[in-house]
């Protein structure tokens, strides 16, 4: 009888079997369960039904081969399997089993029968090429599933919402939509005519508009419970030329103004409007402890954030609760500051930038999403909320933590004048300036962070849990 290697992973969740199954059965579960560092690209996501197929591209060095998995042996509420019909393995048959331990506790058992191509000759490499990667992946999946289900369970007693999201193709928006779908909400995306949506997005839940005129080209904006507005050109994507500043401002202030004006004319306007903002509102404040009650700072980012938040004023006369999401540095290897720093950090070239004392107020991508969901579901939420973890760090501490996780030195300094030469004013504002921001109102509203300290956050992000 031919020997087939089997990998088994078991995880216990402090949640009922039906809650865990419901999460897996959500259309956004595949995107949520994929490790952030793997760089997978979903092409098609099949439902949990026999014969349905899920397709995605994987990263194997410079190659991006397609993986096609077909579901089989589906027992709703209990188990499902998927077999690889195309992909990099010689064999891959994965059984997911969800068992009830008690009424409030369940266990997920993943069992994979696998073989490498030409396994007789290549199988010996699995302890380097396969097993470590599987262990990292399933640790991440366990943590992500547990934290998602925990966040969802806190509002299970409340009705599900009809939600409209702008900026849905962005770093935060894409994962937010997936989470909201797993939570059972009806999620629509508001996009421009030229927006290229991920292939897995159902066109039934897409509304198109002309952001320059406010004209609705396809769909209807009436009847939404909440609008989550995250659209805007990337602050740190390009050097701040005069033209770039105009684009940044227009994509936030002008577009938000126009969207709010359209919403104010509806027969059935939304009950809540959650508007993106940033901790740049507070300006460069050294080590001053900043909360939502702190005064606005000075400089380009402060002025931009103030205009951004003020652009919702047309909603004031309506019975719409407006929430401002003052977001800090979002931690994920898929983008933002962590992605930019990974290569120099892995090469041992990360250390103090400038004097290294500038404070960096960060938040994990998961907590960013959970906080938005929490504020969306909280009937009393209104006004500004700082979306930052309760333990901000100095830039020097940040470099030290990242170096520790990667097991690399973190003492190579980068003078501030080099940042100014490379990035101009953008470098000054985004790298050399800092804010020590605390989520006072968010904590008082009852929100609980999944990642309170930076090290646990980065370990989760990179699959390097202790």
Find tokens 């940033």 and name the residue.
278
Q: Which residues pair with 113 in a beta bridge?
A: 6, 93
Contact, 52 vs 73, CB < 8 A? no
Phi first, then psi: give them for residue 204, nearest 5 degrees: -60, -25
Question: What tens digit of pLDDT does each residue of 275-318 get?
Answer: 999 999 999 988 899 999 999 999 889 999 999 999 999 998 89
Residues of the chain with pLDDT under 70: 1-2, 419, 422-423, 426, 466
What is the model's pLDDT at position 142?
95
What DSSP assignment string belongs to 116-180? -TTHHHHGGGHHHHTHHHHHHHHHHHHHHHHHHHHHHHTTTTSPP-EEEEESTTSHHHHHHHHHH
Per-chain mean pLDDT for the chain: 92
Burial 370-405 (b: 16+ CB within 10 A, else e): bbbbbbbbbeebeebbbbbbbbbbbbbbbbbbbbeb
What is the model's pLDDT at position 283?
93
Tokens of 77: 């509420």
- For the chain, the structural domain boundaries read 6-153, 170-183+216-462
Contact residues for 72 (Cβ-Cβ < 8 A; gap 6+): 50, 51, 80, 81, 82, 83
Longest Cα–Cα distance in the chain: 75
What is the model's pLDDT at position 40?
86
- State the pTM of this model: 0.94
Find tokens 């793997």 and name the residue.
38
What is the model's pLDDT at position 431?
75
Contact residues for 345 (Cβ-Cβ < 8 A; gap 6+): 399, 402, 403, 406, 408, 410
The CATH class that applies to domain 6-153 reads alpha beta
Q: Which of 156, 193, 188, 151 is nearest to 368 (CA)?
A: 151
3-state secondary structure of 95: strand
What is the model's pLDDT at position 230?
97
Same fold, 6-153 and 170-183+216-462: no
The CATH class that applies to domain 170-183+216-462 reads alpha beta
């Amino acid at each position: 009888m031919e020997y087939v290697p089997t990998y088994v992973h078991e995880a216990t969740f402090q949640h009922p079997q039906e809650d865990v199954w419901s999460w897996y059965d959500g259309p956004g579960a595949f995107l949520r369960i994929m490790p952030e560092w793997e760089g997978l690209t979903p092409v098609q996501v099949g439902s949990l039904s026999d014969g349905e197929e899920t397709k995605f591209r994987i990263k194997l060095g410079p190659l991006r081969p397609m993986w096609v998995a077909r579901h089989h042996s589906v027992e709703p509420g209990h188990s499902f399997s998927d077999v690889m019909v195309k992909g990099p393995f010689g064999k891959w048959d994965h059984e997911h089993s969800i068992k009830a331990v008690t009424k409030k506790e369940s266990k997920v058992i993943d069992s994979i029968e696998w073989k490498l191509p030409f396994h007789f000759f290549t199988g010996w490499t699995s302890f380097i090429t396969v097993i470590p990667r599987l262990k990292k992946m399933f640790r991440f999946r366990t943590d992500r599933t547990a934290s998602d289900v925990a966040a969802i369970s806190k509002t299970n007693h409340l009705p599900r919402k009809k939600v409209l999201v702008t900026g849905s193709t962005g770093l935060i928006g894409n994962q937010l939509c997936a989470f909201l779908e797993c939570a059972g909400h009806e999620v629509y995306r508001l996009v421009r005519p030229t927006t290229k949506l991920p292939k897995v997005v159902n066109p039934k839940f897409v509304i198109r508009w002309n952001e320059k005129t406010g004209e609705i080209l396809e769909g209807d904006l009436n009847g939404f419970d909440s609008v989550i507005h995250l659209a805007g050109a990337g602050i740190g994507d390009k050097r701040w030329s005069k033209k770039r500043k105009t684009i940044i401002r227009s994509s936030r202030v002008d577009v938000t103004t126009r969207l709010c004006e359209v919403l104010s004319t509806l027969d059935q306007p939304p009950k809540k409007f959650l508007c993106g903002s940033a901790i740049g509102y507070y300006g460069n404040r050294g080590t001053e402890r900043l909360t939502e009650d702190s005064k606005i700072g000075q400089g380009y980012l402060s002025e931009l954030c103030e205009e951004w938040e003020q652009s919702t004023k047309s909603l004031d006369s309506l019975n719409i609760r407006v929430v401002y999401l003052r977001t800090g540095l979002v931690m994920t290897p898929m983008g933002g500051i962590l992605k930019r720093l990974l290569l120099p950090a892995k090469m041992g070239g990360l250390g103090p930038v400038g004097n290294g004392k500038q404070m960096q107020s960060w938040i994990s991508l998961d907590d960013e999403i959970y906080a938005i969901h929490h504020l969306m579901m909280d009937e009393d939420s209104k006004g500004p909320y700082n979306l930052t973890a309760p333990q901000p760090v100095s830039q020097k501490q940040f470099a030290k933590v990242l170096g520790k996780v990667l097991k690399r030195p973190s003492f190579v300094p980068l003078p501030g004048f080099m940042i100014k030469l490379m990035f101009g004013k953008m470098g000054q504002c985004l790298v050399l300036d800092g804010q020590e921001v605390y989520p006072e109102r968010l904590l008082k509203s009852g929100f609980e962070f999944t990642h309170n300290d930076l090290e646990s956050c980065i370990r989760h992000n990179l699959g390097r849990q202790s």
